[in-house]
Amino acid sequence: MKKEFLIAISYIVEADEELIEQSEKDKHPVFNINLDNYFPRQIKFNEDILAKWTCSTTVTLESKSNNSVKCECCGTWVTQRDKPDALPLSRAEYIDEKIYCVECADNIRSGINCRH
């Protein structure tokens, strides 16, 4: 018996705000790229395992409207994984009411200062 599972891969794309706003008005043509140029529709891991592309989504990362915030140290986007609206981002860690990515939080707990 075979089981299916989801592998989610996320990329953070940085673009000028004006370009993004125009794209939203034009129904996202800036993101209307041919994914086949970058990622195959299927990946064959071996004779028994075949991964097939199913969909892609675009989410604007902004702390005010969704569960995303930048790490206080390095600026990596993180999410609160314990909330129902968690995004596929690194997990947010809290130290002294500040939000950090897991790597920076581990460094701070180990006595290593932010290097960024």
State the pLDDT at residue 13: 77
Q: Can you list the positions of beta strands (E) in the chain?
A: 42-44, 50-52, 69-70, 77-79, 90-91, 93-95, 98-100
Residue 72 belongs to a domain: yes
The residue among 68, 64, 74 whose CA lies nearest residue 114 is 74
How many structural domains does the chain have?
2
Phi first, then psi: give them for residue 58, nearest 5 degrees: -125, 130
Contact 88, 8 (CB under 8 A): yes
Q: Which range of residues forms the domain containing residue 110?
A: 59-116
36 and 77 share a domain?
A: no
Is residue 102 in some structural domain?
A: yes
Same domain as 82, residue 49: no
Residues 30-52: pLDDT tens digits?
565 666 666 777 888 888 888 88
Q: How far apart are the C-alpha atoms of 58 and 31, rounded to whole Å?
A: 8
- Based on the fold, state whether residues 83 and 33 are members of the same structural domain: no
Helices then strands, each counted (H, E), the chain: 2, 7
Q: Does one domain contain both 38 and 26?
A: yes
Q: Is the pTM of this model over 0.75?
A: no
3 within domain boundaries:
no
Whether residue 73 is predicted with pLDDT greater than 90 in this model: the reply is yes
Distance CA 93, CA 105 (A): 6
